[in-house]
């Protein structure tokens, strides 16, 4: 940060870099929340729970509710998860493990007979295993 302290131009450039980093993080987070909530609503709620008979209003309310729930849980985890004892590598391992939840969905490319309940079961098993190992490692 010596560049920002040496001149006004350096301060402006440091500000531009910092703002662009924050914007890129927010853009990625926003895309993840929107795509996950739409996928949950369409693949699970509409197809399995409502058996394809949900109205557009119900789907929109469900999508917005899932988005709000995801943001609230993420914010709570960011603010209150072990208050500073979690390091970057632990979060990276947790994120990578949760990212593996997509593997059952991509298996549908190679196994066309794979249906939504099987994919959901695979995702839930992966999520439970990742969280269990993370908690075992932590405590």
Span 16-28, mean pLDDT? 90
Nearest Cα residue to 121 out of 107, 138, 104, 137 = 104
Higher pLDDT, 134 or 46: 46
- Given this model, what pLDDT does residue 63 score? 94
State the Cα–Cα distance between residues 112 and 95, nearest whole angstrom: 28
Sign of CA dihedral 30, 135, 44, 123: positive
**Helix and strand totals (H; E) in the chain:** 6, 0
* Percent residues over pLDDT 70 in the chain: 95
- Given this model, what pLDDT does residue 96 score? 85
Phi-psi category of 111—alpha, beta or left, where left has phi over 0 and alpha has psi -120 to 50?
beta
Higher pLDDT, 58 or 117: 58
């Amino acid at each position: 940060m010596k560049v920002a302290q040496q001149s006004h131009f350096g301060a402006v450039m440091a500000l531009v870099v910092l703002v662009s980093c924050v914007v890129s993080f927010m853009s990625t987070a926003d895309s993840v929340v929107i795509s996950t909530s739409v996928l949950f609503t369409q693949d699970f709620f509409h197809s399995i729970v409502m058996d394809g008979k949900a109205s557009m209003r119900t789907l929109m309310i469900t999508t917005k509710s899932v988005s709000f729930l995801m943001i609230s849980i993420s914010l709570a985890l960011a603010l209150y998860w072990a208050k500073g004892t979690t390091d970057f590598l632990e979060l990276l391992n947790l994120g990578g493990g949760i990212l593996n939840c997509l593997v059952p969905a991509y298996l549908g490319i190679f196994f066309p007979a794979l249906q939504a309940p099987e994919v959901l079961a695979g995702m839930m098993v992966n999520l439970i295993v990742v969280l269990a190992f993370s908690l075992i490692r932590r405590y």
